[in-house]
Structure 1
Amino acid sequence: MTVQPTETSTSRTLRPPRAGRSNGQWAVDGREPLNANEVWKQEDGGLNVRERIEQFYSRDGFASIPPQDLSGRFRWWGLYTQRKPGIDGGRTAQLDDTELSDEYFMLRVRLDGGSLTLHQLRVLADISHDFARGTADISDRQNIQYHWIRVEDVPEIWRRLEAVGLQTTEACGDTPRVILGSPLAGIAADEILDPTPVIDEITRRFVGDPELANLPRKFKSAITGHPSLDVVHEINDISLVGVVHPELGAGYDLWVGGGLSTAPRLAERIGVFVAPDEAAEVWLGVIRIFRDYGYRRMRTKARLKFLLAEWGPAKFREVLETEYLGRALPDGPPPAPASTPGDHVGIHLQKDGNHYVGAAPVVGRVSGDVLTGLADVMEAAGTDRVRLTPHQKLVVLDVPPARLDDLVTGLENLGLSVAPSPFRRHTMACTGIEFCKLAIVETKAAAATAIAELEQRLADVTAQIDTPVTLNVNGCPNSCARIQVADIGLKGMIVTLDDVQQPGFQVHLGGGLASADRDEAGLGRTVRGLKVTAADLPDLVERLVRRWLDQRAPRETFATWAHRVDEEELR
């Protein structure tokens, strides 16, 4: 069922730049840096810090790292200092980065397309055990994230990763971040086309290229050829979505300018058809537009979505074709509505007669032990491939029918549920205050507690929940857990209850991305004064779900109901 656009359910208006004022667009204003970030990026690029990490900082320790490398250039290699323990969320905005930072790092391993072999999985597990105190999380960008990493250990971690074809290059920073890809690439019978060659070409040619390593801000990409629309294409800077042109055959529809955070905006179709052998070149054209025309004066306005809001799709297409490609692209069709759920949880048949099995950890939290156990289970089942998903899930590929039952049992024993409750399946959470310096509240444990509570409290109505109700929990306003596109999105904040300040959330309701139950994406609505403490979170969700089930029309989704009813029904 389609949610009709409203001011709060689609893209919010982004203010255009002030007339006559330089916005730091290289192609318009020249390259004079207009803020401190642009100064140090021009003085010494982020890619150059690797040599200093390997030769000096790993030898001389954390205290030897100068501030601009520590809080800036390290990100080009997937490294952020993590939050110092014991600092409550009320102080997050009061302290600077040096006061919030511990002497340990989060390290992000980029997995373009989310793809891992058995050998790579074992290396990731060993790194967790040897260097990360057993931590490992599956992010909603198909990455693996570690915590408690020491700078002294980073060169050895890089050596182990790169020995098996993995990397942390440009996993963070003002760079082309990891490319989301369909977890079913190459194995699904209903696939329109396999995006793997395009993802591999872009990664091989452009990740680590100094010409693309100083962007105005981060650049997020997604490519899928699967009709489930499984790469959240509406919220990336660029997405290539599989379509069939009536004359030109299978290719991609180009979407540009999506992004959430504090100024959410959904991507727009540019209206062109991209042939598979032109996809990498078109990707390059779009990222070069962002590099050359993106706003650099203010970092809060430096994402591609702000440029698209000013230009519109027609001008963006014109600039892409005339200035960067040198030719016109054919018009193309939009993607068909999603055919199946895009998280791929459960047991499904591949086109070769084997099976793929999608499993859900709790809000992406795994560990070195779980990764080792997963590798053991996969090896026993005779499969060599697993893929991570943009929904904090994993999909084991190539499972022979005779080994299917044993694999499922092994996954369940590891806490990786193949048949999860709707609450476990559709809940995501960001890192939260446990490790993140931007966070205000704890998220992972709060979400896990809510899942367990809801499984008990709503057991009597679970069978009635025939369309997903997504619950996304975020520790701050930046929306790493995509709160504006969840049925129930929770933005971390300090709330006051009976004159006592405590961790809590502002509530967004009725958002969502295109899916098998929803034709169009839309942003959630906020209800005036609707805030909830972390302790009362299960109460709120239970109340909303029961009201929805009570009041909905046949097969009416939670999002449609949440946009339809009066605010009082949502309190």
Structure 2
Amino acid sequence: MPPSTTSRPRPRRGEGQWALGYREPLNKNEENKKNDDGLNVRQRIIDVYSKAGFDSIDPADLRGRFRWFGLYTQRAPGIDGGKTAVLEPEELDDRYFMLRIRIDGGQLTVAQLRTIAEISTAYGRDTADITDRQNVQLHWVRIEDVPAIWEKLEAVGLSTTEACGDTPRVILGCPLAGIAEDEVIDASPQIRQIYDEHIGSPLFSNLPRKFKTSVSGCSVHCVNHEINDVAFAGVTGPDGTPGYDLYVGGGLSTNPMFARRLGTFIAPERVSEVWAGVCAIFRDYGYRRLRHRARIKFLIKDWGPERFREVLEQEYLGYRLPDGPEPVLDPGVRRDHIGVHRQRDGRYYVGFAPRVGRVSGTKLARIADIAEAHGSDRIRTTADQKLVVLDVEESRTEAVTAALEAEDLQVRPSVFRRQTMACTGIEFCKLAIVETKARGASLIDELEKRLPDFPEPVSININGCPNSCARIQVADIGLKGQLVTDADGRQVEGYQVHLGGAMGLNASFGRKVRGLKTTAEELPDYVERVLRRFLEQREEGEPFALWAARADDADLT
């Protein structure tokens, strides 16, 4: 008998969506979360693990629930990148931890920064990195020391709660909130309200995956609303009052997507409840079967913004949201806050650049000292691995600048110091394949020597694996770490190249030229060659991203 020409539709496979009745765990991560809320691990760390030591830690806590309090085992020394995807987790684990301190809105006092510095020097071998999520990460932390670290942090109003894990991570905010002359709205109260009402709540401590938030009224959009899971971007509403435009579903990693506008106007007093509604949709409807499809971006890709808005309004808020305008984007403005600039109160802020976010406890203590000595009690982290000192009197700006630059913290950095970022890399990260921090620092040095007067803002982002913690797809030059074959046929550290990524009016993901890779050793030569071709071929006023989009493949190799 010939086969039937009419085929029955294949039944859709369950994605573990709670709202549709799929409550049984479909993978080990979901089973682990069902067995015990990640928030409960805190007491075990205090009462058991810190007293009995590393060997007493339950593996389900060690490689799962510890993340709910900002703790990851770091990579054991001496394991090369070729073994990253081959070894079992216990073979990659060191007996020390990375500890992530969440800094919501990037807001720190001198006392808070000094406390982080003291913890770094006392418990973390003087390590510290400023991340592109406005956090500070320490390394070499022992489980025995974690309760004491928490005590010190909490005494000054800081926390590691939900700094990692399948939770609402740190809330990004403009470092100039409340002081910028041209901001649309000061988002600090909304960030504080979300934190106070929802962070650490069991209602949102079991999400399908991580959940990244930004709330900002910055006129240059420095927190990059386009690539957050949920983003509130400052706008002026229809009646002239300030509020927010709502975006959902941004994210990079191995399947990058830009967030989608829902087309709503969110009044400041509604932000916390709207945030909770979006987060609850993710909790209830998010895909839980496959980890790589468990971000909210896949849900909104399948639903579309119209349906998402309808579910938000009807099932979670109980009221309709008004329509609203889009934020104003300017393609010619840098999205950082480097340099000396006037505040709305007549004082000044001073933004400065470490090397690819790498600092130390000692250096953080010096920053706190410099700020305090010049009359400031407020330091801010940025979403570009930089820092800002606020509230400096005009007469003291040169003294602050000189003191910072004496510590190699550049207030007037080169293009390359200003716009090169790097993730943690193989030095500490168990997912990494190649080195990043030292490579980024040496690349800056080489490019400053070879192209000392390079005139254009060009971002160079370096990542140690495909996960894009350093945002490689939206950089002018994005470098994804992998092992490559050199001219002698040896397998060595190198990078796949992405070119011409951007956000804003010309938002696009970087172009990949077929087979375009570079070894780590040849990286400075490659970047110099491409930048010189850009200078030769660009049209007047043309940025690197637009040139890279139209350039011949041969000119990009």
User: What TM-score comes out, normalization by structure 1 length?
Assistant: 0.95
Q: Could you tell me which residue of structure 2 aligns to residue 528 of structure 1?
A: 514
Once residues 406 and 21 of structure 2 are traced to their aligned partners in structure 1, the CA distance between those partners, rounded to angstroms, is 59
CA shift for structure 1 position 29:
3.2
CA shift for structure 1 position 159:
0.1
Kept in 2, the 8 Å contact 1:182–1:230? The answer is yes
Establish whether residue 549 from structure 1 lines up as the match of residue 535 from structure 2. Answer: yes
Once residues 261 and 240 of structure 2 are traced to their aligned partners in structure 1, the CA distance between those partners, rounded to angstroms, is 19
Establish whether residue 500 from structure 1 lines up as the match of residue 490 from structure 2. Answer: yes
Establish whether residue 118 from structure 1 lines up as the match of residue 110 from structure 2. Answer: yes
Q: Could you tell me which residue of structure 2 aligns to residue 156 of structure 1?
A: 148
Alpha-carbon deviations, 1:424-460, whole Å to 9, x = none? 100000000000000000000001110000000012x
Task: Please show how residues 335-350 of structure 1 align to structure 2 within 5 Å.
Answer: 335-338=327-330, 340-350=333-343
Once residues 19 and 260 of structure 1 are traced to their aligned partners in structure 2, the CA distance between those partners, rounded to angstroms, is 30
Structure 2 residue corresponding to 1:85, chosen from 73, 77, 80: 77
Establish whether residue 417 from structure 1 lines up as the match of residue 424 from structure 2. Answer: no
Alpha-carbon deviations, 1:516-558, whole Å to 9, x = none? xxx2321001011110011111111100100001001001111
Kept in 2, the 8 Å contact 1:23–1:29? The answer is no
**Equivalent position SS for 1:123:** helix
**Equivalent position SS for 2:514:** strand
Q: Could you tell me which residue of structure 2 aligns to residue 487 of structure 1?
A: 476
Structure 1 moving runs of 4+ over 3 Å:
none
Q: Could you tell me which residue of structure 2 aligns to residue 393 of structure 1?
A: 386
Structure 1 residue corresponding to 2:463, chosen from 466, 474, 477: 474
Once residues 283 and 417 of structure 1 are traced to their aligned partners in structure 2, the CA distance between those partners, rounded to angstroms, is 37
Establish whether residue 182 from structure 1 lines up as the match of residue 168 from structure 2. Answer: no
Kept in 2, the 8 Å contact 1:140–1:389? The answer is yes
Structure 1 residue corresponding to 2:422, chosen from 429, 437, 454: 429
Kept in 2, the 8 Å contact 1:227–1:340? The answer is no
Once residues 82 and 31 of structure 2 are traced to their aligned partners in structure 1, the CA distance between those partners, rounded to angstroms, is 31
Q: Could you tell me which residue of structure 1 aligns to residue 449 of structure 2?
A: 456
Once residues 384 and 340 of structure 1 are traced to their aligned partners in structure 2, the CA distance between those partners, rounded to angstroms, is 28
Q: Could you tell me which residue of structure 2 aligns to residue 5 of structure 1?
A: none
Structure 1 range deviating more: 324-333 or 146-155: 324-333
CA shift for structure 1 position 310:
0.1
Alpha-carbon deviations, 1:261-306, whole Å to 9, x = none? 0111111111000001101111111000000000001101000000
Kept in 1, the 8 Å contact 2:166–2:211? The answer is yes
Q: Which amino acid aligns with 1:290?
A: F
Structure 2 residue corresponding to 1:281, chosen from 253, 273, 293: 273
**Equivalent position SS for 1:428:** strand
Q: Report the RMSD for the aligned CA atoms in angstroms.
A: 0.9
Q: Which amino acid aligns with 2:71?
A: L
Structure 2 residue corresponding to 1:244, chosen from 236, 240, 247: 236
Once residues 195 and 139 of structure 1 are traced to their aligned partners in structure 2, the CA distance between those partners, rounded to angstroms, is 21
Q: Could you tell me which residue of structure 2 aligns to residue 376 of structure 1?
A: 369
**Equivalent position SS for 1:508:** strand
Once residues 246 and 346 of structure 1 are traced to their aligned partners in structure 2, the CA distance between those partners, rounded to angstroms, is 34
Kept in 2, the 8 Å contact 1:527–1:567? The answer is yes
Q: Could you tell me which residue of structure 1 aligns to residue 5 of structure 2?
A: none
Alpha-carbon deviations, 1:334-390, whole Å to 9, x = none? 000137422100000001110001000000000011111111111110110000000
**Equivalent position SS for 1:527:** coil
Alpha-carbon deviations, 1:213-234, whole Å to 9, x = none? 0000000000110111110111
Establish whether residue 354 from structure 1 lines up as the match of residue 347 from structure 2. Answer: yes
Q: Could you tell me which residue of structure 2 aligns to residue 512 of structure 1?
A: 502
Establish whether residue 165 from structure 1 lines up as the match of residue 163 from structure 2. Answer: no
Kept in 1, the 8 Å contact 2:212–2:230? The answer is yes
Alpha-carbon deviations, 1:381-429, whole Å to 9, x = none? 0110000000000010000112211111111011110000001100000
CA shift for structure 1 position 94:
0.7
Structure 1 residue corresponding to 2:61, chosen from 62, 69, 89: 69
Q: Could you tell me which residue of structure 2 aligns to residue 8 of structure 1?
A: none
Kept in 1, the 8 Å contact 2:175–2:388? The answer is yes
Q: Could you tell me which residue of structure 2 aligns to residue 45 of structure 1?
A: 37
Q: Could you tell me which residue of structure 1 aligns to residue 526 of structure 2?
A: 540
Kept in 1, the 8 Å contact 2:501–2:510? The answer is yes
Kept in 1, the 8 Å contact 2:433–2:465? The answer is yes
Once residues 150 and 171 of structure 1 are traced to their aligned partners in structure 2, the CA distance between those partners, rounded to angstroms, is 18
Once residues 385 and 11 of structure 2 are traced to their aligned partners in structure 1, the CA distance between those partners, rounded to angstroms, is 42
Once residues 195 and 408 of structure 2 are traced to their aligned partners in structure 1, the CA distance between those partners, rounded to angstroms, is 33
**Equivalent position SS for 2:512:** strand
CA shift for structure 1 position 248:
5.1
- When the two structures are aligned, how many residues end up with a matched partner? 546
User: What TM-score comes out, normalization by structure 2 length?
Assistant: 0.97
**Equivalent position SS for 2:358:** coil
Gaps of at least 5 residues in structure 1 are 1-17
Gaps of at least 5 residues in structure 2 are 1-9
**Equivalent position SS for 1:479:** coil
**Equivalent position SS for 1:415:** coil
Kept in 1, the 8 Å contact 2:233–2:244? The answer is yes
Establish whether residue 208 from structure 1 lines up as the match of residue 196 from structure 2. Answer: no
Alpha-carbon deviations, 1:129-162, whole Å to 9, x = none? 1000000000000000000000000000000000
Q: Which amino acid aligns with 2:365?
A: T
Once residues 74 and 302 of structure 1 are traced to their aligned partners in structure 2, the CA distance between those partners, rounded to angstroms, is 20
**Equivalent position SS for 2:359:** coil
Once residues 556 and 398 of structure 2 are traced to their aligned partners in structure 1, the CA distance between those partners, rounded to angstroms, is 43
The higher-RCO structure (CA 8 Å, 6+ apart) is 1
Once residues 443 and 51 of structure 1 are traced to their aligned partners in structure 2, the CA distance between those partners, rounded to angstroms, is 35
Kept in 2, the 8 Å contact 1:22–1:29? The answer is no
- Structure-2 change in CA distance of 1:458 and 1:68 (3 Å): same
Q: Which amino acid aligns with 1:57?
A: Y
**Equivalent position SS for 1:20:** coil
